[in-house]
């Protein structure tokens, strides 16, 4: 059984990005700049944004944080996005969700300049993804297929069962796997909370990709002998035996599933590290595209 080491692969990708940044600097090009927008005082959102800045530093990117109060009015917030859209020095930006209820999410998403939409939320970028013409890919599905590629796991001709159909993970992941492309060419089944015979369908998967947000729900019964299992879920569950009082786990019951499959991603240390890395890759793509069009 192979444990797919997402941390190591993410570090390899980060080294490649850092080398590209060094080459850009050598040529006198400005280095990529990723900005993060945060509204309110949510602790988890702040931690995530801090980790983005840390990752940017590791690869030599510039990062910046734009922090607004939780009572900011919708039109003021959209004006703030105008500033980010127009700032030539910012290559891409992310908006930390959820936003306060006075701000309509669909207006915000549509307001982001698609060229700077490194989260790939804008309808234009989502549409391009479906057409197989993407400039950016949503970070988690991107991280998942990149991880599989670099770990030598081909989806070509395989039956992939994607468990979960959210707009940011399950649905785009299924599209990438079905795409006529190097990382795609799979036969894909999408499952969700209304799927009948879920266990039986999952047990037909050559590659089972799980993004349901239910801690350790996927037991060995859901998995075919010799399958590959990609666990995208991430949870903090109480654990009195751990000195921290909790442990991190995925949507898959690792101990029993790992005994049955040919390859598996651990949690933590599987898809998670690749998600952040792919946000950096999207920023690099935005930067490279801008530079090419300005030449």
Residue closer to ligand NDP, measured from CB, 202 or 286: 202
What residues are paired with 190 via a beta bridge? 162
**Which of the stretches 53-61, 177-185, 186-194, 219-227 binds ligand NDP when contact is defined by CB under 6 A?**
186-194
Length of the chain: 295
What residues are paired with 92 via a beta bridge? 34
Min separation Cβ 292 and ligand NDP, Å: 29
Q: Is 211 an interacting residue with respect to ligand NDP (CB under 6 A)? A: yes
The sheet carrying 187-191 orders its strands as: 2-3, 263-264, 228-231, 207-210, 159-163, 187-191
Min separation Cβ 272 and ligand NDP, Å: 4
**Which of the stretches 35-43, 48-56, 80-88, 226-234 binds ligand NDP when contact is defined by CB under 6 A?**
226-234
Q: Is 271 an interacting residue with respect to ligand NDP (CB under 6 A)? A: yes
Q: Is 282 an interacting residue with respect to ligand NDP (CB under 6 A)? A: no
Distance (Å, rounded) from C-alpha 38 to C-alpha 267?
27
Query: Do the strands 246-249 and 263-264 form a parallel or antiparallel pair, or are they unpaired?
Result: unpaired
Min separation Cβ 57 and ligand NDP, Å: 20
Other Cβ atoms within 10 Å of 94 Cβ, number: 23
Other Cβ atoms within 10 Å of 253 Cβ, number: 19
Residue closer to ligand NDP, measured from CB, 46 or 214: 214
Min separation Cβ 171 and ligand NDP, Å: 8
Q: Is 141 an interacting residue with respect to ligand NDP (CB under 6 A)? A: no
**Which of the stretches 70-78, 129-137, 149-157, 168-176 binds ligand NDP when contact is defined by CB under 6 A?**
168-176
Query: Do the strands 2-3 and 263-264 form a parallel or antiparallel pair, or are they unpaired?
Result: parallel
* Binding positions for ligand NDP, 54-83, rule CB under 6 A: none
Min separation Cβ 144 and ligand NDP, Å: 8
Region of 287 please: left (phi>0), alpha (psi -120 to 50) or beta. alpha
Other Cβ atoms within 10 Å of 285 Cβ, number: 18
Q: Is 272 an interacting residue with respect to ligand NDP (CB under 6 A)? A: yes
**Which of the stretches 178-186, 210-218, 240-248, 278-286 binds ligand NDP when contact is defined by CB under 6 A?**
210-218
Q: Is the dihedral of CA 207, 212, 216, 220 positive or negative?
A: negative
Residue 52 near residue 276 (C-beta atoms within 8 A) = yes
The token duo for 277 is: 């890395």
Interacting residue with ligand NDP among 214, 247, 289, 290 (CB under 6 A): 214
- Give residues in contact with ligand NDP (CB under 6 A): 140, 163-166, 168-170, 191-195, 198, 211-214, 232-234, 251, 271-272, 275
């Amino acid at each position: 059984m192979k444990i797919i080491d997402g941390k190591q692969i993410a570090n390899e990708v980060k080294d490649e990005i850092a080398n590209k940044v060094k080459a850009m600097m050598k040529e006198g090009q400005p280095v990529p700049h990723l900005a993060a927008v945060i509204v309110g005082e949510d602790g988890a959102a702040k931690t995530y944004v801090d980790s983005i800045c840390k990752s940017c530093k590791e690869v030599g990117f510039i990062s910046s944080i734009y922090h607004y109060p939780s009572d900011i009015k919708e039109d003021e917030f959209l004006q703030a996005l105008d500033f980010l859209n127009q700032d030539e020095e910012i290559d891409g930006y992310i908006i930390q969700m959820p936003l306060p209820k006075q701000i309509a999410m669909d207006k915000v998403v549509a307001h982001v300049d698609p060229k700077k939409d490194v989260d790939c939320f804008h309808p234009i970028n989502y549409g391009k993804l479906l057409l197989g013409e993407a400039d950016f890919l949503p970070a988690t599905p991107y991280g998942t297929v990149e991880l599989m590629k670099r770990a030598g796991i081909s989806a070509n001709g395989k039956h992939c069962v994607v468990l979960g159909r959210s707009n940011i993970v399950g649905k785009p992941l299924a599209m990438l796997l079905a795409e006529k492309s190097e990382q795609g060419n799979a036969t894909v089944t999408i499952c969700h909370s209304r799927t009948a015979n879920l266990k039986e369908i999952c047990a037909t998967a050559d590659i089972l990709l799980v993004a349901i947000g239910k801690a350790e729900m996927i037991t060995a019964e859901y998995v075919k002998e010799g399958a590959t299992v990609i666990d995208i879920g991430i949870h903090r569950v109480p654990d009195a035996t751990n000195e921290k009082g909790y442990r991190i786990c995925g949507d898959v019951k690792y101990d029993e599933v790992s005994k049955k499959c040919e390859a598996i991603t651990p949690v933590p240390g599987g898809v998670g590290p690749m998600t952040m890395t792919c946000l950096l890759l999207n920023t690099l793509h935005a930067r490279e595209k801008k530079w090419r069009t300005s030449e």
